[in-house]
C-alpha cells in the first residue's frame, strides 16, 4: 500500500496554502517562506515536492491532509 500523500509541485502547494490565508514572507535561494499567525512553512521550489516533505509542510502549518487535498 502506497503513501496517502501525493507528489505535488510547489505551485500547487502554495495555491492551497494561500487559500488558507498563508502569505508570502520571503524567498532565499530555492526555499520559499509562507506565514499565517504563528505558523511558518518553508516550501522547496523544486520541480516536485516529495511525499515526506509535504507531510512535514502540513505538520508545520497544522493542516490535516484531507482538508489540504480539498483545496487542490
Per-residue pLDDT of the chain (72 residues; tens, 9 = 90+): 457 999 999 999 999 999 999 999 999 999 999 999 999 999 999 999 999 999 999 999 999 999 999 999
Pair 59, 39: CB distance under 8 Å: no
Pair 8, 49: CB distance under 8 Å: yes
Please tell me the distance from the alpha carbon of residue 72 to that of residue 16, in angstroms, as a whole number.
6
| Structural domains of the chain, ranges and CATH numbers in brackets | 10-70 (3.30.920.30)
pLDDT for position 1: 45
The pTM score is 0.93
pLDDT for position 2: 57
Pair 23, 7: CB distance under 8 Å: no
Pair 21, 35: CB distance under 8 Å: no
Amino acid at each position: 500500500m502506497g503513501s496517502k500523500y501525493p507528489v505535488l509541485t510547489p505551485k500547487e502547494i502554495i495555491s492551497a496554502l494561500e487559500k488558507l490565508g498563508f502569505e508570502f514572507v520571503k524567498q532565499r535561494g530555492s526555499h520559499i517562506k509562507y506565514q499565517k499567525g504563528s505558523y511558518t512553512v518553508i516550501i522547496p521550489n523544486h520541480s516536485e515536492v516529495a511525499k515526506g516533505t509535504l507531510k512535514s509542510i502540513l505538520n508545520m502549518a497544522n493542516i490535516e491532509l484531507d482538508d489540504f487535498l480539498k483545496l487542490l
